[in-house]
Chain A
Amino acid sequence: MTLLSVSGLDVHHGQLRAVSGFDISVEEGQTIGVIGANGAGKSTLLRTIAGILIPSAGTISIDGVDVTRMSAHQRVRHGVGLVPEGRRLFPSLTVEENLLSGAYLRKEGPWSLDAVFDLFPWMPERRAQSSAHLSGGEQQSVAIGRALMTNPRMLLIDELSLGLAPVVVRRMYEALPRIVANGCSILLVEQDVSQALAVADHVHCLLEGRTVLSGRPTDLGRADIETAYFGIDAPAEAG
């Protein structure tokens, strides 16, 4: 059953076309990776699906409902959750309050404060701490927890590994299967290609706003990915 379907999506920042003609469909329980270099349009894509940016063309639907004209907060009701680039925790709220902000709509679902604490066991004893004093990995966990508290069916994650040490990145990725197991599909944006290839059922490679390559990680050759990622002829560059 198709959960998210995006077709013919164009998004502009003023004159600049940051995403063009993007299509994707995400089935229930799938993890989809979107990779691409700096400025490829990955964040623009996720922010448009979340409803922060308004596309200039194309449609977005969740579970068969056209949400293209809906604002971000209305899409949360339909099951869209976003872990934004750079975490964007609320600095004047504590860890627990940040998580509870995700429960604003009190939507039914598997995720609650206890379930998030179960996923990230360090959290309970630091729940009262200001979120401004957390390490990068801790902040990322709170941002994920906050998005989960909205009980999303389609979780959008922008740069899970951004600025984190490799060991922390590994721990973050270990959480993903448990999220999927609770009935949630994931659309994961990454610059770290190998991580994305390792967890995704399917990857899209973006270059200057267009999908230049897509397929199952096992079917894609390394050279193809490099070409698509950098937009140059990889062997030529090597030589």
Chain B
Amino acid sequence: MDLLNAVLQGLLLGGLYALFATGLSIMFGVMRIVNLAHGDLAVVASFLALALVTNTFLPLWAVVLVAIPIFSVLGYALQRTLIQRSLGAGPLATLLVTFGLSIVLQNVLLESFSADTRTLEAGSFATSAIELNDTISLSYIGLFGLVAAVVTIVAIQLFVSRTRTGRMMRAASDDPETASVVGASPAHIYGIATAIAFATVALAGLIFSMRSSFDPSIGPSRLLFAFEAVVIGGLGSLWGTLLGGLALGLTQSVVSHYDPASAVLAGHLVFLAVLAFRPQGLIPARAV
């Protein structure tokens, strides 16, 4: 029964990993870049929520509604300035720029909020749970993470397959130059993709901070989880990313049930095993 609980908790955690990895997957799918500041941006979202909750009278749901558009605008702006420029500045530039951004964000957070571990007072929503029986209880926030992941991925899939802009996103990912001769500005399209990615990062970052404590230095370890989810699932496939996130969450949770100190290592080893035996990932496809 305890094991069943570990499995269910793993799926909830995995859902959150998948939601968080979605942004990484989109940016890779559309622009072929890995945003190394991905994890730190989620931490920025957590601190933003902390600042809003402690300094204003906004309830938590309103903070979520405020943070997501702020992040989308931030994403669009960041793409149009730094990232777009780095795309044209040689093959290493995007990595160097996003890595630099990661270090800068971490240290700015450190200087402004200190290295202390924080928790977000999320009220009754964060502490309530559905009690299935004596040993199994599913927290609202955990369920919210999984549902948000599935809804987000379905919505993005519909967007890229059904809408004019979504179609152009796939086209610009194939061939930005040809996209420009049918009238689309690749930089604008990439900006929209980044805005969507940042919105999911903000949402995931907020859910992370409602689930557990955070500090300025945890961004990189979260980036690695997202990265593993994307690679385990298969590059460029959002359904793969969902599956990869679930696989990672499940592994960590089940191993943690036996030996909490090995959970993260076990996740890394699953990632390496996928690299060794199935380098194309679980669902090798191009979603975006």
**Touch between A and B in complex, CB under 8 Å?**
yes
A97 touches B180 (CB 8 A): no
A73 at the interface (CB under 8 A from B): yes
Closest to A83 in B: B181
A153 at the interface (CB under 8 A from B): no
Residues of chain A within 8 A (CB-CB) of B167 are: 93, 97, 100-101
B164 touches A90 (CB 8 A): no
Q: Which of B174, B180, B181, B186 is within 8 Å of A91, CB to CB?
A: B174
B170 touches A92 (CB 8 A): yes
A52 touches B183 (CB 8 A): no
Q: Which of A76, A92, A106, A150 is within 8 Å of B173, CB to CB?
A: A92
Name, among B164, B178, B179, B181, the residue most crowded by chain A CB atoms within 10 Å (CB to CB): B181
Q: Which of B171, B180, B183, B185 is within 8 Å of A90, CB to CB?
A: B171
- Given A93-B167, A100-B164, check contact A73 B180 (CB 8 Å): yes
A84 at the interface (CB under 8 A from B): yes
Q: Mark B200-215, 1 if CB is under 8 A from A, else 0.
A: 0000000000000000
A86 smallest CB distance to B (angstroms): 10
Q: Which of A88, A104, A147 is within 8 Å of B175, CB to CB?
A: A88
Residues of chain A within 8 A (CB-CB) of B180 are: 51-52, 71-73
B230 at the interface (CB under 8 A from A): no
A76 touches B174 (CB 8 A): no
Q: Mark A155-182, 1 if CB is under 8 A from B, else 0.
A: 0000000000000000000000000000
B178 touches A84 (CB 8 A): yes
A101 touches B177 (CB 8 A): no
B60 at the interface (CB under 8 A from A): no
How long is the Cα–Cα vector from A150 to B182 in the complex, in angstroms?
6
B174 touches A92 (CB 8 A): yes
How long is the Cα–Cα vector from A71 to B173 in the complex, in angstroms?
19
Q: Which of B171, B183, B186, B286 is within 8 Å of A150, CB to CB?
A: B183
A84 touches B181 (CB 8 A): yes
B184 at the interface (CB under 8 A from A): yes
Q: Mark A116-150, 1 if CB is under 8 A from B, else 0.
A: 00000000000000000000000000000011011
A77 at the interface (CB under 8 A from B): yes
Residues of chain B within 8 A (CB-CB) of A81 are: 181
Q: Which of B173, B174, B182, B286 is within 8 Å of A104, CB to CB?
A: B182
A154 at the interface (CB under 8 A from B): no
Residues of chain A within 8 A (CB-CB) of B173 are: 92
B168 at the interface (CB under 8 A from A): yes
Closest to B167 in A: A97
A90 touches B174 (CB 8 A): yes
A4 at the interface (CB under 8 A from B): no
How long is the Cα–Cα vector from A150 to B181 in the complex, in angstroms?
9
A50 at the interface (CB under 8 A from B): yes
B179 touches A101 (CB 8 A): yes
- Given A88-B175, A90-B178, check contact A105 B170 (CB 8 Å): no
| Chain A residues near B (Cβ < 8 Å) | 50-52, 71-73, 76-77, 81-82, 84, 88, 90-93, 97-98, 100-107, 146-147, 149-150
| Chain B residues near A (Cβ < 8 Å) | 164, 167-168, 170-171, 173-175, 177-186, 286
**Inter-chain pairs besides A90-B175, A103-B164, 18 sampled, C-beta below 8 Å:** A50-B181, A71-B185, A72-B181, A73-B183, A76-B183, A88-B177, A90-B171, A90-B174, A91-B174, A93-B171, A93-B174, A97-B167, A101-B184, A102-B183, A104-B168, A104-B184, A147-B182, A150-B183
15 A–B pairs (Cβ distance < 8 Å), ordered by A: A50-B181, A71-B180, A73-B185, A77-B183, A88-B175, A90-B174, A91-B174, A93-B167, A93-B171, A93-B174, A98-B171, A101-B171, A101-B179, A104-B182, A106-B164
